[in-house]
Structure 1
Amino acid sequence: MQSHKIFKRSASQIKDLIPHRGGCMATDKITIDGLPVKFMYRQELDYEHDTGWIFLSSTETQGYLDDHTNTMIYEVNTIADYDPAIIPYLNLPVGTDLERVDGTDRFIDYSG
């Protein structure tokens, strides 16, 4: 049975905020529930058009993350449109591990 997700924003509402970069992973907590990005990290690329970025809201449990239907691949611009605060950090290298400072658009890098 295929699920039909109702996204917080329709495709026609997504603006081109950044040049095409490739794909990223984000959870339904961001794209359906509309929660802001709390954690963003960049891992090794899995496929040709992968940026390595993964975006989480901080409300995801391990069980939630283990259910692959709660996560999808998106063009990075889509997640930037949901939360433009991520844009200044998108050029950081693989291994970057960022956490948003509560109540701000700033992220702190914990990758060392």
Structure 2
Amino acid sequence: MDPTQKAFKIPGVQIQQLIPQMGGCFASDRIMVDGLLVGYMYRDEPYNDVDSGWRFLSGDESQDYMDDPDHLGIYAVNTVCNYAPAIIPYLDSPPGSAFGRIGDTDKFQSE
């Protein structure tokens, strides 16, 4: 699906600058379209100068879901922060870091 055709949970005009620019990331439509919380996040080595290395998932995506590239998008990390401000304290973590949400809290634990 063309990303311009997605019905994002937060309209672009409502996105606020919450963090300094840190590049792009991958996030699933379960977060960006369906509005679920980030349940799992990890940081890979960046692919290039504009990739932060961060990947954000709700945690309930199946392998079939993830295998469909239409279910993922590339976004500014700041955009994902607007959906999930609870991730902000973890963004300085180095590549190789992974975190899972602790229950219904805004806290994450290292995985």
Q: TM-score range by the shorter chain?
A: over 0.9
Q: In the aligned structure 2, how far is the partner of 1:103 from the partner of 1:2?
A: 32
Task: Please tell me the residue identity of whatever aligns with 1:107.
Answer: F
- Separation (CA, whole Å) in 2 of partners of 1:88 and 1:98: 12
- Which residue does the alignment assign to 1:29? 30
**What is the one-letter code of the residue matched to 2:24?**
G
Where in structure 1 do 4 or more consecutive aligned residues deviate above 4 Å? none
Q: Which residue is equivalent to 2:96?
A: 95
Q: Which runs of 5+ in 2 are unaligned?
A: none
Please give the TM-score of this superposition, normalised by the length of structure 2: 0.95
TM-score by length of 1: 0.95
Q: 1:61-89 CA distances to partner (integer Å, 9 max, x unpaired)? A: 00000000100100000000000000000
Provide the C-alpha distance between the structure 1 equivalents of 2:52 and 2:35, rounded to a whole number of angstroms: 22
- Structure 1: gaps spanning 5 or more residues: none
Please list, as runs of the form range in 1=range in 2, the aligned pairs for 1:34-49 lying within 5 A after superposition.
Answer: 34-49=35-50
CA distances 1:16-64 after superposition (whole Å, capped 9, x unpaired): 1101110000000000000000000000111211000000001210000
Paired AA for residue 37 in structure 2:
P
Which letter does structure 2 place at the counterpart of 1:102? G
User: CA offsets per residue over residues 78-101 of structure 1, 9 Å max, x none?
Assistant: 000000000000000000010000
| 1:84 pairs with 2:85 | yes
Counterpart AA for 1:61: S
SS at match of 1:45: coil
2:33 aligned partner, one-letter code: I
Q: Secondary structure at the match of 2:6?
A: coil
CA RMSD of aligned residues (A): 1.1
SS in 2 for 1:51: strand
Q: CA deviation at 1:103?
A: 1.1
